[in-house]
Amino acid sequence: MTWVLFIPELYCLLMAIAFFGLSMAARPNPRRDYLVALFLTLVGVVVALASVRLEGTLFFEAYRVDLFSQVFKFLLAAGLFLVVCLCTELSGIEERHHPEFYLFLTTCTLGMMLLVSSVELLTIYIALELSSYSLYILVPLRRGHGSDVEAGIKYLMVGAAASALMLFGLSYLFGVTHTTYVAEIIRLLPGVIHTPAAILGLLLTLCGFFFKLAVFPFHFWAPDVYQGAANQVTAYIATASKVAAVAILMRMVALSGGTSVYLVNVLVTLSICSMTLGNLVAIVQKDMKRLLAYSSISHAGYVLIGILSMTQTGYASAIFYALAYLIMNLSCFLVVVKVAEDGGDLKIAQLAGLHRRSPLLAMVLMLAVFGLAGIPPTIGFTGKFLVFAAAVEKGYLGLVILAMVNATISLYYYILVVKAAYLLEPDEEPARLVVTTPTKVLTVVLVTVMVVMGVYPHHLLEVARAAARALLL
Amino acid sequence: MSVEFAGFPFLTAILFSCLAALLVILFIPDERKMLVKWVSLVFSGITLLLCLCVYAAYDRNLGGLQFVEKILWVESMGIYYFNAVDGFSLPMLLLTGIVLFTGVLTMWELETRVKEFFALTFLLVAGVFGVFMAMDLFFLFVWYDVSLFPMYPLIAIWGSTRKEYGAMKLTLYLLAGSALILPGILYLYVKAGLNTFDITALMRPGVFTPFQQKFAFLLFYLGFGILAGVWPFHTWSPVGHVAAPTAVSMIHAGVLMKLGAFGVLRVGIFLCPEGWRYWAELMALLATCGIVYGAFVGLAQTDLKYVIGYSSVSHMGIVGLGLATVTVDGMNGAVFQMFAHGVMTALLFSSVGYIYDRTHTKMIPELGGLSKIMPVASGYFIVAALAGIGVPCLASFWAELLVFIASFKVYPVRGAFAICALVVSALFMLRVVQRTFYGEKNERFAHLQDVSFRLGLPRMILVSVIVLFGLYPSLMLDVVQTAAVPLINGLPR
């Protein structure tokens, strides 16, 4: 029964239909919407977990289900669930739009799930657009701001440009190899990878994913969109969306067979530019979400280091890093969402006195931020360690030293966040933050995962390695 | 899974007691300040006892690695949870135990954010212990960074004098150091091709080519050297010491700086002996610069804590000089000096802390004649200052003697400079003592109480340690010897 392979996606589709039904309700009821979403996405995680071991192909070989794709589907489902967990007070979005908000989150996740399994160029393109268009709608959904519309338009424009470049690149790839099947391209492309058309085609194709991942020079949208979108939407863009981008980027880079020096050089350059630019500009940011946007640009650079190693260990480390990034960023956004209760933007200065308002949130913020800076014993350090180890193995020692210098620079602004939370005293004493029990549980789980996976990465690493093996088959 | 345990896992117990203290403190309510302090004291006491047990139980005739605990941690990367002690790390464990215990006692009067202070301190100390006992490069690096980042909040929250600047400078400098160390570790890991981070496996002769050793040693020397206060990368250290609260200064100058020197020793010298010999000249040069520079800059300071900060740079230069001689005497002296300087600096900062808490100033010209007001408190400082000068019968005398004998043989000119600098540092220490504690009595402070027995306890412990090891240096040298001799004899001719 081949349809079993498609269960996580089918489930997502059903979820979308359910939210569509909710959106037609006569009277808005945010509480009901939230609980339904929480339950449905939790079941989604279970479904994704249950289907991790599935393997096979669908739709005339255009769709491959393997450990690689299933691990990422699980991560996406988990990311969606965690983002929905943050939606207890969805005050950034008008109440009557709540069902639509969940609906588009779900379709976006569906698009990304399709994306990580697609092994045919047109399927990849369609899946990518499905997820992008959902986000184009989600970004301007914010209540009463002007900036959200600006952000939405910016996102759409940059996204459309990246899509166009990508389509153009796909046409070159098709021209060079006369096929749209990734498996065929993997066989044919290394033979012609030294021709300009093949390189250009591959690079232009990658542009579409660079846009998703906010790699330099496709990073312009990130700060404005991060700041302009509702906090929960930003959380989603910063986590699940990035994870999917990493996955598909790996699949496309794996196409080259790891023999093209030119491609590697381009990726090295982009990686260095992303890291340096992201870290330097982040230093002067005053808004927490903008800061996280620039930090995400620099993290895109770190992930690229793992991907450009083009070895199994490299891909495994990038997968590990993607997971680490998902968890750390979600922890940061948990704090952003909880501290900015009214759904507004969060200035870093507004974190002042957080250690007294809520010691638990202050602690998770400190851990997450130090994790992003790559300080042990957090999962962020272990991710960096693995990525760098893979790069040094391929002889990119200089790149690793540069990346470490960058990590040191980034430490400066991460410390400023910690300083705001632990040191600065607010002008007037704000009320203690009420942290509900479910949030407490979520926080403790996130902290535990960050530390335990950071100190004992054995099992997770094995999964990542197996997934990377499946990718290279 | 390969598990090797020799009896009770003392080393893990030491780590565990620090981490347990951290967890217990986290669950104590904010208001119960005394409870936090007692819990800290009990756990640091347990830690110190465990350290003493290990120190006493170490078999000096056998030497080598003892108390081995080894578990395969991450199979695919070849990472082991591998703890052991040898003659080099044993004195460091003892030092950390002593400084932690006395540090907790010194901070007995702390009133602001007590819980967080002790929690962070225990995290820091767990990292320090971890580095001293780790025999696996991955864990060594993890513990190393764990011991660094609590410094930022510790200084920035509870510090004084330009605390935020000092804290940021220190953190960035030290983590810039790890930006060199991590690539170095990964470089060796990859070049060895053994798929292991186990130091004992990597240190076998012939694993690395001379070029690889030279290159990697430079990375480690610079990276760890920053933390060891090697001139010209020392500028964070006086600023950091001055800004930090008393106990943190004690742990920082007393233990953390040793972490840097120990890192050079454990990673650089153990894994890259060829590189060590190749760069020894440079090490000796920078160390001598540090000794001379620290002594002269210290001469010009008017802030008591700056004086100690620069004398630390000078004294850590002696450690560097000892390591640079590549001789048994030099190694013995360097490790002994690490221990002696740790105890001595802890005592200095501890006494200054008491004085500062009472007088609210640490400027030398403002103090004056303190020995008439607080004879006992002044006494502690004076003992430590004498130890810093290297007066016989105190621990650092033996350490400095050994280093200077060795360095005079190997590098006569630099050795001579270093000894001259010692005279200068004697001059400035005595000048500080004279101006601060003798001379005109400052009436402003006449009402102040002298240090009570309870508050003086930590300083008494430190003084007795200094005197004990000054009178019986073999207590320490016998241990260090067990590691230094095989290391030097094992060098390829």
Chain B residues touching A422 at Cβ < 8 A: 153, 156-157
CA distances from A436 to A88, A299, A333, A443 (A): 10, 31, 16, 11
Q: Which residues of B touch A375 (CB under 8 A)?
A: 145, 149, 175
pLDDT band at B339 (very low <50, low <70, confident <90, very high): very high
Task: Determine phi and psi for B94, rounding to 5 degrees.
Answer: -60, -45
Q: What is the C-alpha to C-alpha distance for residues B374 and A420, in angstroms, rounded to an integer?
A: 40
Rounded to the nearest angstrom, the minimum Cα separation between B162 and chain A is 14
What's the predicted TM-score (pTM) here? 0.90
User: How far does Cα A132 stand from its chain's mean position?
Assistant: 13
A397 chain-B contacts, CB cut-off 8 A? 183, 186-187
pLDDT at B141: 92
Which residue bears the tokens 């990034």? A325
d(CA A329, CA A410): 15
ipTM of the complex: 0.88
Q: Decide if pLDDT at B447 tops 80.
A: no
Task: Answer yes or no: are the C-beta atoms of A444 and A41 closer than 8 Å.
Answer: no
The domain tally of chain B equals 1
Q: Contact A408/B175, CB-based, under 8 Å? A: yes
As a whole number of angstroms, the longest Cα–Cα distance in chain A is 67
Q: Are B325 and B410 in contact (CB under 8 A)?
A: yes
Of A381, A392, A465, the CB nearest to B76: A465
Angle, nearest 10°, between helix axes B453-471 and B395-410?
40
Identify the helix (H) or strand (E) that includes residue B79: strand B79-85
pLDDT tens figures, B398-426: 888 899 889 888 888 888 888 888 888 88
Tell me how far apart the 2 most distant CA atoms of chain B are, in Å. Answer: 70
pLDDT digit string (tens) for B295-310?
888 888 888 888 888 8
**Residues from chain A contacting residue B186 (CB–CB below 8 Å):** 388-389, 392, 397, 400
Cα A112 from chain centroid? 11
- Per-residue model confidence (pLDDT) at position A1: 57
The residue ranking higher by pLDDT, B142 or A430, is B142
Question: What pLDDT is stored for residue B431 in this prediction?
Answer: 84
Does the pLDDT at position B4 exceed 70? no
How far is it, in rounded angstroms, from Cα A169 to Cα A412? 39
Cβ <8 Å between B74 and A397: no
pLDDT of residue B311: 86
* CB contact (8 A) between residue B74 and residue A392: no
In angstroms, the CA B327 to CA B488 distance is 7
Is residue B43 pLDDT above 70, yes or no?
A: yes
> Which residues of chain B are within 8 Å of residue A377 when distances are taken between CB atoms?
142, 146
The answer, yes or no, to whether the previous bond of B150 is cis (omega within 30 of 0) is: no
Which of A357, A386, A392 has the highest number of chain B CBs within 10 A, making it the mutation to test binding with B? Answer: A392
pLDDT of residue A145: 66
Contact between B138 and B115 (Cβ < 8 Å)? no
CB B460 within 8 A of CB B454: no
Q: Which backbone phi and psi does A432 adopt, to 5 degrees?
A: -60, 140
Mark the ranges of chain A whose per-residue pLDDT is less than 50: none
What letters, b where the CB count within 10 A reaches 16 and e where it falls short, cover A126-150?
A: ebbbbbbbbbbbbbbbbbebeebeb
Min distance B376 CA to chain A CA atoms (Å): 36
A415 contacts in B (CB within 8 Å)?
A: 152, 168, 171
Q: Which domain does B419 fall in, by range? A: 3-489
Interface residue of A312, A370, A372, A404 to substitute, partner B, most B CBs within 10 Å: A404
**Distance of alpha carbon A280 from the chain centroid:** 21
Question: What pLDDT shows up at residue B6?
Answer: 54
3-state helix, strand, coil in chain B (%, to 5): 75, 5, 20
Contact between A129 and A163 (Cβ < 8 Å) = yes
| Residue contact B146–A457, C-beta within 8 A | no
CA distance B74 to chain A (A): 5
- Among candidates A375, A377, A389 on the partner chain, residue whose Cβ is nearest the Cβ of B189: A389
- Residue among B73, B138, B171 whose CB faces A458 most closely: B73
User: Which among A381, A389, A419 has CB closest to B156?
Assistant: A419
How close is the nearest chain A Cα to the Cα of B374, in Å? 35
Phi, psi angles (nearest 5°) of residue A146: -90, -30
pLDDT, residue A150, reads 82
CB contact under 8 A, B171 and A370: no
Hey, where are the domains in chain A?
A: 2-472
The pLDDT value recorded for residue A298 is 92
Which range, of A298-302, B1-5, B60-64, averages the lowest pLDDT? B1-5
The tens digit of pLDDT for each residue in B371-389 reads: 778 888 888 888 888 888 8
Whether residue A426 contacts residue A373, with contact meaning beta carbons closer than 8 Å, is answered with: no
Using only the alpha carbons of chain A, give its radius of gyration.
21
Average pLDDT value for residue range B440-444: 75
User: Across-strand partners of B82?
Assistant: B70
Question: For residue B187, what is the nearest residue in chain A, using CA coordinates?
Answer: A392
Measured CA to CA, the distance from residue B20 to residue A418 in angstroms comes to: 24
Cis peptide before A196 (omega within 30 of 0): no
A131 and A117 in contact (C-beta within 8 Å)? no
Per-residue pLDDT at B1: 37
Closest CA to B216 of B174, B280, B268: B268
Strands A56-58 vs A63-65: parallel, antiparallel or unpaired: antiparallel
Give the number of A-B residue pairs with CB atoms closer than 8 Å. Answer: 83
Residue numbers in A near B189 (CB within 8 A)? 389, 392
Least CB–CB distance from B74: residue in A401, A408, A461? A461
- pLDDT exceeds 60 at position B5: no
Residues in chain A with CB shorter than 8 Å from the CB of B141 are 376
pLDDT score for B2: 42
Pairwise CA distance, residues A410 & A388, whole Å: 17
- Taking CB atoms and an 8 Å cutoff, what residues of chain A touch B190? 389, 392-393
* Chain B interface, Cβ < 8 Å to A: 73-77, 116, 138, 141-142, 145-146, 149, 152-153, 156-157, 164, 168, 171-172, 175-176, 178-180, 182-183, 186-187, 189-190
The reply to whether residue A457 touches residue B171, judged by beta carbons under 8 angstroms, is: no
pLDDT (tens digit per residue) in B208-228:
888 999 999 999 999 999 888
Q: Do A388 and B168 touch (CB under 8 A)?
A: no
Structural tokens at position A425: 């005293």
Percent of chain B with pLDDT over 70: 99
Could you give the CA distance from residue B324 to residue B169 in angstroms, rounded to a whole number?
28
Name which of A276, A313, A320, A423 to mutate to probe chain B: the one with the most chain B Cβ atoms within 10 A of its Cβ: A423
